[in-house]
Structure 1
């Protein structure tokens, strides 16, 4: 991880494109949940999982593009270790795929600006 992390940090995490796409989209998803008048557990679960998977997909795409497959593999392992299998158990990508209609119905549009600091 230490070998690949400088590239990931410099060429991905510190860039405006990462902050404005990956991070903004996830924060806008959280904002959407916060703004819900009547929270429903299933809808909230779907929204947060779709938002997480969209962030994860976006992050991995940029890491692979900027730093290569080895960096992507290291990053995936790191995220997997940091979150354990929690994200795979609670938000499996095959059930909460960004392109599925269930995600399209709950995710904010890409041009929505999050309220939080990027």
Structure 2
């Protein structure tokens, strides 16, 4: 059910933005038409992508103050922006569906945005992960860079296939989990990474790229994942492959 709602929301965004030019008569009383373009949705992502502007961006996960800042960006600035977009541009059905999906997405932040034992456990594991995994040269070169290179290669080939997008992410998660297990243990490391995917990334990868369908070790995935030792490069966020990908939206997690 969650997956169906998620893809229905994506279809609604595509319909609204592509159909804007075909509805010149809308808002005739005011003489103005609402801005219902993809760039308006992209503005909703800016509060999240801007979190990468730090010398140690993943440190935001390691304290209550950092999580408060992150939760404010996700729940208030991003969530309210998406709701406003559909309120302005959507039909009653679009607004209803978008409200359900946004509420479902934001519900994943509850364990890290509300004070309690779950948040404290998350902070504890994040401190180990930030210090011993995310900030290391190994993670940046072997995990982050190969993920970004996979997306950039797909973009250069004008290939926006789900295979490159999903296999790239599943590779990153497995690569990061393997490092986390060796540095922080199974509970603090592996479970910590999975908590980030669920609570920070709003469970989007699990909705759009199910692990059982995109095994990073499979022949299909190995055919698109960038080789080890890929040249250092920034994500080409101008491409369709990356613009709405977690690597861009949550870019603070993927520094190289």
Q: TM-score range by the shorter chain?
A: 0.7 to 0.9
Q: Please state if 1:45 is matched with 2:162.
A: yes
1:52 shift after superposition: 0.2
Find the counterpart in structure 2 of residue 70 from structure 1.
187
The alignment of Structure 1 onto Structure 2 pairs a total of residues equal to 114
Whole-Å separation in 1 of the counterparts to 2:229 and 2:137: 15
Structure 1 runs, 4 residues or longer, greater than 6 Å off: none
Q: Please state if 1:58 is matched with 2:175.
A: yes
Matches within 5 A, 1:1-118: 1-36=122-157, 38-39=158-159, 41=160, 44-71=161-188, 72-116=190-234, 118=256
Assess if the C-alpha contact under 8 Å between 1:27 and 1:114 holds in 2.
no
TM-score, scaled relative to structure 1 = 0.85
Listed as ranges, the gaps of 5+ residues in structure 1 are none
Q: Secondary structure in 2 aligned to 1:68?
A: helix
Change beyond 3 A, Cα 1:107–1:75 = closer
Whole-Å separation in 2 of the counterparts to 1:60 and 1:33: 24
TM-score, scaled relative to structure 2 = 0.42
Assess if the C-alpha contact under 8 Å between 1:50 and 1:103 holds in 2.
yes
Assess if the C-alpha contact under 8 Å between 2:141 and 2:229 holds in 1.
no
Asked which structure has the greater RCO (Cα within 8 Å, sep 6+), the reply is 1
Listed as ranges, the gaps of 5+ residues in structure 2 are 1-121, 235-254
Note the alpha carbon deviations across 1:45-68, whole angstroms, 9 max, x for none. Answer: 100100000000011111111011
Q: In terms of Rg, which structure is larger?
A: 2
Assess if the C-alpha contact under 8 Å between 1:22 and 1:55 holds in 2.
yes
